Structure 1
Amino acid sequence: MLVRKEVRKVGKSSKKIYLLLLLVPLFWGGAFGTAQHVITEISPLIAATLRFGSAGLILLTIILVRGEWNWEVLRKRWLGLFLMAITGIFSYNAFFFVALKYTSAVNGSLIMSTTPVFVTVGAILFLHETWNKRLGMGLFLSLTGVFLVIIQGSFQTLISLSFNNGDLLFIAALFSWVIHGLIGKVVMQGVSPLFTTTVTTLIGSIFLAIGSFFDGEWEDVLAMSGQSWIEMVYMVVFATVIGFFLWNKGIQQIGASKSSIYMNLVPINAAWIAVLLYGESIGWQQLLGMGMVITGVFIATFNGLKKQKPEENIEKVVMIDS
């Protein structure tokens, strides 16, 4: 009877996290449009510093209250955590915010939505994971979709090599995030995701702050409109603190593979939010590219797991709850 109760408990918990994870792509999709508006009033690096510096302080408060700060882990994993901060917080967000000055939020979200595919490819090349036809098909579709968006359906653009600088910056952001993810696969073994997120956010924010002094005037922050302040609060609280917390909980409860599928919804949410709230236009190239990217990422990241026997499910539940 005790085992059966544990099974029901875990089942309810799993169903709950599946629903909560739907908020993550909603919050992250909204961050594209809000960030694009905020950088019309302050410089990109100042905006990034405000977002992640504030989020880092909130996360630090949470982790101290919960008693999860770990100096021993920091001492042993400092290099890996530092590299994660440089790639995932500093360089990724520097490219992200600057890119939004030159391209649309829709294009950016489409390019970034290929992240799970490239993380998987990197894991095959550097972490010895297995290659398969499903991954190859997904990679091809995703790359084709991004390529179509970048050239805007015009082969004249391809011939003249006149690519949008913002799209190229988003590709740089993409690879920064991929490197961050691959390092994280090694560094986060046995380390709390909340602790990792807090440390990397704080370290990355320091470098963003240093870069911000060469990017604009901090006095501009005082002149920000009420709309921009609301958008900044949204990015800090919802897109960063709550978004990353739910993401980490999802990875903890249902695994990284299943959680990563939710990334497919980011460009859809970014598109309708940008069109509805910020008056952006969306063309057939973006719609077709969106469909190809989402399909490709889904094919590459979705693994048809074999159904486990009831005994296997019970054993895993006991190990988790004990």
Structure 2
Amino acid sequence: MKITVIAPYTFGYIDVLVDKIAEGSNVTVEFIDISTIKFEYTSVLQRGKNFLLKNLLNRNLKREHRMRVLSNRLSQNPEQDVILVVRPDVLDEPVLAFLRTRAKKVISYYYDSINNIPEKQNLLAYFDEVYSFEKADVKKFGLKFITNFIPVDEPDNFANEKGVFHISSYDSRSKIIVDVARQLEKFEYPYNFVVKSGKALDSKYLKVITEYVDCKEVLQLMKRSDVILDVQKEHQEGLSFRVFEALGFDKKLITTNEDVRNYDFYNPENILIVDRENPVVIKSFLRNEYVPVPKSIKDKYRRDAWIQEVLGI
């Protein structure tokens, strides 16, 4: 089976999915990370030309270059059995149409809600199947539902240190994160709250980084905690990767996502749901032991199960 996966930078989550696809027997997979297709201006004049094109004609030489390189790579490959596109909104529509000439089946996984990226609503017709982790989008637009996945297969049991871990971009969620940090300090419970920001922040509760962290590095940081804090984006109900990282590595979870109670792995001993406007951390939740989730349930959310559902392999 010949498979091509096309995606922008996704913090390493699609990379580890491709790694697992490649383990399949009689499978060849190519991953095209379009964020690695670089464009360099040849002159100051070209830079100025691109500025004018973007502002006057809504054109972008960098994006057009990426689309040409992508199309050329696809043209050189034999017909694929499946092309899987993550974040199709980063591709031009003529390229999306071209994909249909290069594969027997073209699938998309909507990596974010349509509320957050509205232009994805207009791209549905380019795909044979569209999957989403957002139940509201599935119902409204007739998509196929699938959750995110546990990103790596590692031993379920390893030594946990006491502490709450969180990592995200600095945005409207950060107020909630700071509210939780203040409560943890009162409990004298350790925490490591990391936010990515392009500017310095004056906060004793947040550790600021300037570069995105790959998911494998995140998992190493998680190992030094026993609780994960998950604060969902606004206008998103689908479960984030934080939920599945906590599930896969036997971590307790504090989350603002109320929909988590509707999943078969939910256990109030392991998962504390807090209000976005007034998050209240319960001290006994931190103190109580984690209740192991049966392997039969966890296996439903591993990469193997995701690949079987979406790609049929």
When normalised by structure 1's length, the TM-score is 0.22
Looking at secondary structure, tell me which structure has more strand per residue: 2
User: Scaled by the length of structure 2, what TM-score is found?
Assistant: 0.23
